[in-house]
Homo-oligomer: A and B are copies of this chain.
Amino acid sequence: MSGERIRFDPEELRSFTSRAFSHFGIPEQDASLAADVLAYSDEHGIDSHGVARLKTYVDLLEAGRINPRPKLKIVREKHAVATVDGDNGLGLVVGPKCMEMAIEKARLHGQGSVSVCHTNHYGAAGYYPLMAVRQDLIGMSMTNTSKGVAPFNGIEKMLGTNPLAMGFPTGDEPTVLMDFASSTVAYGKVEIAWRAGENVPLGWCLDEHGRPTTEPERMMQGGALLPLGSTKGGSGHKGYCIGGIVDIMTAVLSGANWGPFAIPFAIDSPQSEKQVGKGIGHFFGAWDVEGFRDLAAFKSDLDAWIQTMRTTRHLPGGPEVQIPGDPEWAAYRIRMKEGIPLQVAVVRDLERIAAVLGIPAP
């Protein structure tokens, strides 16, 4: 976190967000679902994916680029799997509904997968597996995003930061939640360094000529992010593999725009004229633990796994080994007590939204 912050009551932010969405004719239930997805990020410390993005969703709704009342359509279905056309709705609404379908399929068939086309930015990937975990299932979500990452050996943007998230139900220990982009870092991390006038480590970015750079502005002006692993020595081809898996499962499999054709989230980002599908793509998966193993045995073993990993030796005085999800649960405990700390720039955005829409500011 950098710069001054103002703290907000989580409930107030939720109802403000929900009211903003309702303003555009989004049905109340959908508006509060979308608000819940954004609130998840703010409440769990993922500042880049919460109300800081409300302005962009509002811009897109205002410009008529998102359908406020989508009619989700099952394009194809075979027992445990399906493809859904999101009818150009908010990803924040299409996403939870399709994850719910994957969960229902897992209840019936042992597992379920739903690939989604014709959808939009769905918030933090980690929200969706947690829906499954609350019902004692294993959950997964992926989405493709607009181009920002160079394939391994390449020097131009061809893939999105294409995140993958998985969650696992536990017993006494906190839920295990993995949620990560397939690039070394997300675009936002480079942007934060740029705002602070700082350099970034080698291995995050290429400049406009495809050379490794530590200067954020060189990446932002026509360069590209690098896939997880960065270089040959770091096995950057593996991050490229993960980005490719996400792009194919979300977009090629559903009939959405893939690779460099994925539609940008920000309204003023340049958009490919060529379209190879509908909207962007998501993929949701759920597995019924009880189809594989006694749930109590799984949970107790996963608790032991967590305790074992947590006690791994670490450098004296250095950081301890965490369990994926720990940072989210730590942020939640603090923020639900002390409020959501928003950057002043984000607060100004929310005030402008309130003024334009004629609703009370949070």
Contact = CB atoms under 8 A, between A and B. Distances in A.
Contacts of A26: none
A153 B292 contact: no
Given A81-B110, A230-B234, A291-B82, A312 B150 contact: yes
A94 interface: no
Contact of A233 (B203, B288, B298, B319): B203
Given A110-B81, A113-B111, A153-B321, A235 B298 contact: no
Given A79-B291, A308-B158, A314 B153 contact: yes
A336 B287 CA distance: 40
Contacts of A78: 109-110, 288, 290-292
A168 interface: yes
Contacts of A228: 228-229, 235, 238-239
A287 B234 contact: no
A155 interface: yes
Interface string A297-339: 1100110110011001111001111101000000000000000
B176 A298 contact: no
A234 B184 contact: yes
Contacts of A80: 79-80, 109-111, 291
Contacts of A77: 110, 291
Interface string A264-303: 0000000000001100000000011111110001100110
A302 B113 contact: no
A115 B238 CA distance: 24
A253 B166 contact: no
Given A110-B78, A155-B315, A301 B238 contact: no
A314 B234 contact: no
Nearest to A151: B321
Contacts of A150: 312
Greatest chain B CB density within 10 A among A109, A210, A312 is at A312
16 contacts: A78-B288, A78-B292, A79-B80, A80-B291, A82-B110, A83-B293, A138-B249, A150-B312, A153-B321, A178-B241, A210-B313, A247-B305, A248-B305, A253-B289, A255-B293, A255-B301
